[in-house]
Amino acid sequence: LVAFICHGGWIPISARILKDKRATGSLGIKDDLENAGAIWVDEPVVRDGNLISSRVPKDLPAFAAAMVDFLKGHS
């Protein structure tokens, strides 16, 4: 599981693991995500394989639920 919210997307950007992956984050790093090869999606939670991302703190309930579902083995 690799999960990030808001500006946390800078970590997987630096790790160079976002090419052709669907992801989201705050609008402040949208261009950075896209420049790293991610497909930016404006949704509260985006899951692409083991990558789970969210935009802002108001998305935390959906973000947490997505992580719990992933860890429980739900798709």
Instruction: List active site positions.
Output: 7
CA dihedral of residues 25, 45, 21, 28 (deg, nearest 10): -10
* Contacts within 8 Å (CB) and 24+ apart, 27-33: 27/55, 33/9
